[in-house]
Chains A and B, each alone.
Chain A
């Protein structure tokens, strides 16, 4: 069974059809790319998948479970985590606490246990600290754990966003332009990180990206979007050589 199956979703804002009859099927463990010119509706699709918008029609199945129209928080608990195009960290919290917020639903204790520092609080906090540090180490952020998130350099902020998303233990990870604003070195490092996340956590990843080097370097399959319509779909090599795609997006 496919990890994500999106069937014929559409949404319009006023008279504008932002996404029209969109379909995608992502198998478990796949690294999938969503590309297209600015305003094609890529981020809108992410917002539809994560419940920020409700589709006008169509269905979204995650690992066989229908999540169409569910709330954002519920969809995360069902197994979709995401990062944002414009970084959205908890800027006044420490790097460690950012990840611990991601662990929120996996290590539970009641508010009263927290206030009275009951054993359940101590145990859960200890486990959370350990798990969070493990994750930070994976993303090479462990030395900065006490920094305020807003004090991290840009590249590390992007990584922290991925670490936070991974803390929610998702089945599917959505990355919205992870390489935006990065220099070639940082991009190369990011490619390694994304590949590592896929292999290490056996993760299914869908990413939006404009950096063709990154897309052709790591994505196995691509969907190209143009003005809300699907232009092409298939293995990366084929799609990037499709004359239609070259005309609409890549240029001669």
Chain B
């Protein structure tokens, strides 16, 4: 029993240690001026991608439902956080404090959307759920694209038409300007804050998985009918996993919003392409493997940047890699060869 528990503890510690070690390594490289500015600019986005991948793994790997709307929750969090930041600017002069509270606001608003969308969507299964979450992600992005929000002494004003129809007082400020989004959010996000948020995300997700709640969620994934038969409230735990996943995506969104001068909902940052990119991190890292998600997110973000010189051949290489991977994992001949190789290695070790 003790050894069994220790195994979980060791596995989790390795994951935390990996993150902290890479942080220290990068800080050392920065101190030694061994890192180019391109890579430096990638550090915060890397943290964002890691948070997104880990949080999506909660839905895809632990709950076992394919969600393609993760970028939508990130979008909600980003706009809620940035909006809060700008709205509170006159009353809360400290950028850091506003950013800190904005993180909570972004998480809370994204979680609320997670519950709201989760209630109808989680009745569906498999492909249907994937398609509907994809649609919700797109709807969120497109609604924000035509949303105008302003603040004046009378409160918050909303419009889906234009700035003039907000009917603001002279002293009023327009914060969300439709397709132009939010401009002028202070660039408060740093790599250190990003890593702290990554660690907090890991803490929440890993501890949740290894608790009563996580067991209930995984029981639903493994066999819904059996989970129901031992008295587990299916809707409650599905919603719990989905909304925690959304809240963490919201945190990633707030981090994103505070890393850019201009925040606009474009297909590139909050579209379905983004959702699929995050899903690729989760699948490549191994569905259900939190550490795998982190590694895949980092490698798949860095590689294209490192190999910029080969840009023209990217799709060619991608196709070749995909075919080779498929052959290696599913062709009977390849599986046989792989098994023989591992068997050889095992016996080889014994001999030595």
Contacts and interface: CB of A to CB of B under 8 A. Distances in A.
A117 interface: yes
Interface string A106-129: 011101001111000100110001
A93 B230 contact: no
A105 interface: yes
Contacts of B233: 73
Given A111-B240, A115-B203, A145-B1, A101 B211 contact: no
Contacts of A164: 226, 230
B208 interface: yes
Nearest to A76: B231
Interface stretch (A82-90, A209-217, A243-251): A82-90
B204 interface: yes
Given A72-B229, A104-B232, A133-B1, A115 B208 contact: yes
A90 B232 contact: no
Interface string B207-241: 11001111110110111011111111110000010
B215 A88 contact: no
Contacts of A52: 225
A167 interface: yes
A116 B207 contact: yes
B230 A81 contact: yes
Contacts of A89: 222-223, 226
A89 B229 CA distance: 11
Given A84-B226, A165-B230, A168-B230, A114 B211 contact: yes
Interface string A61-82: 0000000000111101100011
A165 B226 CA distance: 10
Contacts of A97: 215, 218
A111 to B, nearest CB: 5
Contact of B212 (A124, A145, A165, A167): A124
Nearest to A114: B211
A92 interface: yes
B223 A88 contact: yes
A98 to B, nearest CB: 8
Contact of A109 (B212, B227, B228): B212
Nearest to B213: A111
Contacts of B227: 90, 101
A223 interface: no
B229 A82 contact: yes
B4 interface: yes
A101 B203 contact: no
Given A50-B229, A146-B4, A115 B211 contact: yes
A73 B231 contact: yes
A105 B240 contact: no
Contacts of A108: 212
B1 A88 contact: no
Contacts of A77: 231
Contacts of B212: 100, 104, 107-109, 111, 114, 124-125
A114 B222 contact: no
A90 B223 contact: yes
A111 B223 CA distance: 21
Given A93-B219, A109-B212, A133-B1, A104 B230 contact: yes
Contacts of B288: 92
Given A92-B218, A93-B219, A93-B222, A101 B230 contact: yes
B198 to A, nearest CB: 16
B230 A114 contact: no
B225 A88 contact: yes
A82 to B, nearest CB: 6
A82 B233 CA distance: 16
A91 interface: yes
A96 B218 CA distance: 14
Q: Which of B203, B204, B228, B231 has the most CB of A within 10 A?
A: B231
Contacts of B216: 101, 104
A168 B204 CA distance: 28
A74 B17 CA distance: 43
Contacts of B207: 114-117
Interface in B260-284: none
Contacts of A76: 228-231
A92 B222 contact: yes
Contacts of B213: 111, 114
A97 B208 CA distance: 14
A155 interface: no
A73 B228 contact: yes
Nearest to B207: A115
A105 B215 contact: no
B231 A105 contact: yes
Contact of B1 (A74, A111, A129): A129
B218 A93 contact: yes
Contacts of A50: 229
List the 7 closest A-B pairs by CB distance, nearest first: A114-B211, A76-B231, A90-B222, A88-B226, A72-B228, A101-B219, A111-B213
Given A76-B231, A90-B223, A145-B4, 6 more contacts: A73-B234, A93-B218, A96-B4, A104-B216, A115-B211, A116-B207
Interface of B: 1, 4, 203-204, 207-208, 211-216, 218-219, 221-223, 225-234, 240, 288
7 contacts: A73-B234, A76-B230, A90-B219, A107-B212, A111-B208, A115-B208, A124-B212
